[in-house]
Amino acid sequence: MHRLDDYPGPTPYHGWLFEQWRAGYDLRALGEIGDFVSIMSYSQHTRRTPPGPAAGVPWVRDVIEYCLKHIPADKLSMGIPLWSQHWYTSHEDDLLPERARSYSQSLSYPEAIGLLERHGAKLLWSDDQQVPYSFFSNAGVFEWVFLEDARSFRAKLDLVEEYRLRGFSAWVLGREDPQIWQVLGERGGQPGR
C-alpha cells in the first residue's frame, strides 16, 4: 500500500487504483494492533503509468507523512525499492499495430546499466526526485530507464532517520546496486547511523 491521502486522485486510473488496491487498508487499526508495519513507499510509477521513478523522494516523503497520521514512527518500516524500470513501446498483436502502447519492465541494476551502455545513453541525476535516470532513442522512439542505486538508496535512508522510523524494508533483494551494501556498512547496518 502506498497512499498519500484519503482522496483517490484526479483521474479514473487513480480512482481505480484507490478502490482496488490502496483503500483496502485500515492504517489506524494496523498501527494499533501491529508491532511492525512495513509500508510500500514505492510503485510511484509502474508499467501502467508514464515513465518515472519507482520512489522519488518527494513521493516517499508524502507516503511517510500520511502513514504517520495513523501509525507510530517506532512501528513503521519504510519500503525501499531495489529494482530499475525500463519504459519502451510495444504492441500485443502483430496484426493490429495501432494497439501499440507504452510498457515497462523491471530490471536488475546490472541489467539496467548494460542496457544504457548498449545504447550509449548518459546516466543523469534528478535533484528533485533524488534518483538516476536516462533516456535514449531506439529507431527514433525514446525509451526511458529509471534506476535505484546507492545514491538514491542513501537519500531514502536519510528519510528513515529524519522521521525516526523503526527501519526499512527492501524489495527485492538480488536486483540492487551492489554499492548499497557499502552504504549500509557506513551506517553500521543501521539506517539512522
Q: What crossing angle do the helices spanning 57-67 and 150-162 adopt, rounded to 10°? A: 30
What's the pLDDT score for residue 125? 98
Whether 191 maps to a domain, the answer reads no
Whether 137 maps to a domain, the answer reads yes
Structure pTM? 0.85
Q: Which domain holds residue 170?
A: 12-186
What's the pLDDT score for residue 49? 83
Measured CA to CA, the distance from residue 158 to residue 68 in angstroms comes to: 16
Whether 86 maps to a domain, the answer reads yes
Whether 192 maps to a domain, the answer reads no
**In CATH, what number is assigned to the domain containing residue 67?**
3.10.50.10
Whether 7 maps to a domain, the answer reads no
Kindly report the average pLDDT of the chain as a whole number. Answer: 88
Residues 6 or more apart whose Cβ sits within 8 Å of residue 166: 36, 73, 74, 75, 76, 77
Whether 5 maps to a domain, the answer reads no
Of the candidate ranges 24-28, 94-98, 150-154, the one whose mean pLDDT is the lowest: 94-98
Edge-to-edge strands, sheet with 167-171: 37-39, 76-81, 167-171
pLDDT confidence tier of residue 8, bands split at 50, 70 and 90:
low
pLDDT digits 0-9 by tens, 158-178 = 999 999 999 999 999 999 999
Whether 119 maps to a domain, the answer reads yes
Mapped onto helix, strand or coil, the DSSP state of residue 161 is helix
Mapped onto helix, strand or coil, the DSSP state of residue 56 is coil
Measured CA to CA, the distance from residue 153 to residue 58 in angstroms comes to: 14
Mean pLDDT of all residues in 82-96 = 81
What's the pLDDT score for residue 2? 58
Residue that is written with C-alpha cell 482522496 in the block:
7
User: How many domains is the chain built from?
Assistant: 1
